Amino acid sequence: MDSSMLIMLAGGLGLFIYGMKMMGDGLEKAAGSRLKRLLEILTENRFMGLLVGTIVTAIIQSSSATTVMVVGFVNAGIMTLKQTVGVIMGANIGTTVTSFLIALNLTDIAPIAIFFGVALMLFSKKPSLKSIGEILAGFGILFMGMDLMSSSMAPLRDNVTFQNIVTQFSNPLIGVLTGAIFTMIVQSSSASIGILQALALQGLIGLDSAIYVLFGQNIGTCITAILASIGTNTNAKRAATIHLLFNTVGTAIFMIAISLGVPYVEFIKSISPDRAVSQIANAHIGFNIINTALLFPFGNYLVKIS
């Protein structure tokens, strides 16, 4: 990988993260302060907390942002630890929206979205239309960044060294560690999964290798909430720990199940046989939904362990 490829990759990643944030900010502005009020008011019931966590995270496009808010609410005494469990699980489901959008491969309409989005931001006087413009522009920038990342990786198809590195990801431990460490660095599971999907677009990685990296990415995304809990009270630190426990226990369950012969990878492949990008998105969605279904009844135990 030469310097020009690294520059393109870095630029694409920057556009991707900025577009994701811009889209999330626009959606958050459109919803006003109601998102935070939803988290404060509707989380007494764990099922409602799950729904709210999913919706809020799908809107702001970041499970890290949702869990950071949760840590802040616990620190301020607005939420109890038991209330956080459903929201944190919902946040993991809501964050899969980005990978699903990427799998739709809407790159061709990205420039149009940017054009109309910027036009609304510059020429509209209504705040609501400006927010819609921000959403459209962010959407387009996200896909332009994705396209740039994918293009930067195209020469790696003939690189034997890189191919050998990718084959190492099929080792569960290496795959999980790679996914976790990289996601900790970029502090966004959506961004790191986006890079994984960019590799898939170029035919550089398949689900057999990507699945363990994907598990690690779900663990790595917990770093933001953990950093946010530094200097907070004990219960706020416990809320961040619940997020880490949820993803770590879920990863352990999936890895054990796959090692025992549960055909999860084969099932995901059968849904979209010829599209590795969609397979990664579906595996991400499946992991978080199944993990939530398995651990939701044991929410109180997660609280006790934390």
DSSP line for 70-91? HHHHHHTTSS-HHHHHHHHHHH
* Contact between 226 and 244 (Cβ < 8 Å): yes
The Cα–Cα gap between 70 and 87 comes to 8
The Cα–Cα gap between 116 and 96 comes to 26
Task: Output the pTM of the full model.
Answer: 0.81
Q: Cβ of 249: how many Cβ atoms within 10 Å?
A: 17
pLDDT of res. 275: 85
Q: Cβ of 206: how many Cβ atoms within 10 Å?
A: 18
The Cα–Cα gap between 194 and 212 comes to 15
- Mean pLDDT by groups of 10 residues along the chain of 306 residues: 78 83 76 63 74 82 78 79 86 85 79 92 87 88 82 72 73 89 81 84 84 91 84 87 93 93 92 87 92 91 90
- With a CB cutoff of 8 Å and minimum separation 6, the contacts of 177 are 216
pLDDT of res. 35: 61
* Contact between 145 and 19 (Cβ < 8 Å): yes
Q: How far is CA 131 from CA 19, 39, 246, 298, in A?
A: 14, 22, 34, 39
* Contact between 8 and 113 (Cβ < 8 Å): no
* Contact between 265 and 276 (Cβ < 8 Å): no
pLDDT of res. 286: 93
Q: Cβ of 47: how many Cβ atoms within 10 Å?
A: 10
pLDDT of res. 112: 92
The Cα–Cα gap between 188 and 191 comes to 5
pLDDT of res. 105: 72
Can you say whether the dihedral through the CA atoms of 48, 54, 55, 57 is positive or negative? positive
pLDDT of res. 38: 63
The Cα–Cα gap between 211 and 305 comes to 27
pLDDT of res. 200: 85
pLDDT of res. 257: 94
**DSSP type of residue 218:** H
pLDDT of res. 163: 67
Buried b (16+ CB within 10 A) or exposed e, 210-236: bbbbbbbbbbbbbbbbbebbeebeebb
The Cα–Cα gap between 282 and 131 comes to 30
pLDDT of res. 292: 93
pLDDT of res. 41: 63
pLDDT of res. 31: 65
CA angle 131, 12, 190 (to 5 degrees): 65
Q: Cβ of 2: how many Cβ atoms within 10 Å?
A: 7
pLDDT of res. 227: 83
What the block records as the tokens of 208 is: 């057999």
